[in-house]
Structure 1
Amino acid sequence: MVIVENDRLAAEKLRDCLIGYECLVKTLDYGKNTRFRAGVFQPDVILLSAELSGGLFGLVLCSQFKRDDLLADVPIVLITATLNADRLTQHKKLPTAADAYLTKPFSQTQLIETIGALIPLTVGDIGEDTLADLDDTWREQSEEERIVPVPDFSVRRTFSGARWESTVGYCRGIRIGNVVAITGTAAIEADGSVTAPTDAYAQTKRCLAIISAALNELGSRMDDVIRTRIYVTDIELWEEVGRAHREVFEHHPPATTMVQVSRLIDPRMLVEIEADAVCNFV
């Protein structure tokens, strides 16, 4: 069976729960290796955490597995600590729903009974007292794990000092929880002048430098950027703009869009960039 879980300790608890049963258990870290190849490792059951990568990405992964030709018939046990009853009910109605659900805290007995209803499990050479001890330990650990921190959804803002911020009434960037949005940013120097009026490459680098500074102010960084939107006054400049963008994001490329606009607020501005980021922590 396969355990898909980012939390190493949680994965180890699940493995410990299966001590004494004749089965091969493989743990996969979501985002690193969640593809199974027939003939290499084809699971009989998947224990899938709903809470992955700081969100409920396990629900997305469940749908992906159920649509995969190789995995469509593999039973999935979805394990959650945070999904409420309404959300679970909604998920169970989906055509890509899991085959079974467990909400923490639960005992080793509950886990084994859930898996056993999907695939046959055989007890190996281990005493009943040992299994009982493991059951008590698992229940205690699950109770502790259920106490999860409440995310911080307070609002934080940062300003770059550009005169348009106060004139129009906006901030350079805003962070809510672990989500950061950076407003459209043009190439402006500290003294208010436009960077290199005829150089799209230099302006792009300046835009991204301002964005980077705003992200840092909000406790984020360029590695966290998941999307950029690029506005240029001449689409023929795409190679210069693209080269500067690639140099900054080469090792962590985000999704992006580049479109031509008729003009920006200053005719000497050739490019303006927006950015969205999701931090790895709240």
Structure 2
Amino acid sequence: MEITQVITDQAPAAIGPYSQAIRAGNLLFCSGQIPLLPDGSVVEGGIREQTLQVMKNLRALVDAAGADLSRVVKTTIYLADLGDFAVVNEIYAESFTAHPPARATVQVAGLPKGVRIEIDAIAMFA
């Protein structure tokens, strides 16, 4: 099985010893995306703006690998506050319309750079 690192300047660079995404055979594993702009700065605004940026980052990674969000089969959402769930769910639903991926959502004690949300994803190629 071939393993390929996926790198794009349309999403923030990894801020540690990990890859933005890894393609392994017909699977794509996207590292958790937080609401960073491609230049590495945190997006301004609240949970709505942060969620929109996270989804934009995930879309950029999947696109860079040659797929699209319709190929995502599993996500995990990490929230600093489960009280943000309704807003996140609304934006998430707009990104995954045909067949929403399997998903877990958890509240965590903290996230990098003090952000409110992180999402990772697994996509499958045909």
- Structure 2 residue identity aligned to 1:216: D
Match in the other structure for 2:108: 261
1:201 is matched with which residue: 32, 48, 51? 48
Aligned to 1:270: 116
Aligned to 1:159: 7
CA distance in 2, matches of 1:216, 1:188: 17
TM-score, with length taken from structure 1: 0.42
1:224 aligned residue? 71
8 Å Cα contact 1:201/1:243 also seen in 2? no
Q: Verify: 1:240 aligned to 2:114, yes or no.
A: no
* Partner residue of 2:59 out of 191, 212, 221: 212
Matches within 5 A, 1:64-213: 153-160=1-8, 162=12, 165=14, 168-197=16-45, 199-213=46-60
Deviation at 1:168, TM superposition (A): 2.1
Gaps of 5+ in 2: none
Higher relative contact order (CA 8 A, sep 6+): 2
Q: Using the alignment, how far apart are the partners of 1:172 and 1:261 within structure 2?
A: 21
Which of the numbers 251, 268, 278 marks the counterpart of 2:98? 251
Residue 160 of structure 1 deviates from its aligned partner by: 4.4
Contact 1:228–1:276, Cα closer than 8 Å, also in 2: yes
1:191 Cα deviation after fit: 2.7
Higher radius of gyration, 1 or 2: 1
The runs of 5 or more residues in structure 1 that have no matched partner are 1-152
Q: How many angstroms does 1:240 deviate by?
A: 0.7
TM-score norm. by structure 2 comes to 0.90
What is the root-mean-square deviation of aligned Cα atoms in Å? 1.5
Number of equivalent positions = 124
What is the CA deviation profile of residues 76-122 of structure 1, one whole-angstrom value per residue up to 9, with x for unaligned ones?
xxxxxxxxxxxxxxxxxxxxxxxxxxxxxxxxxxxxxxxxxxxxxxx
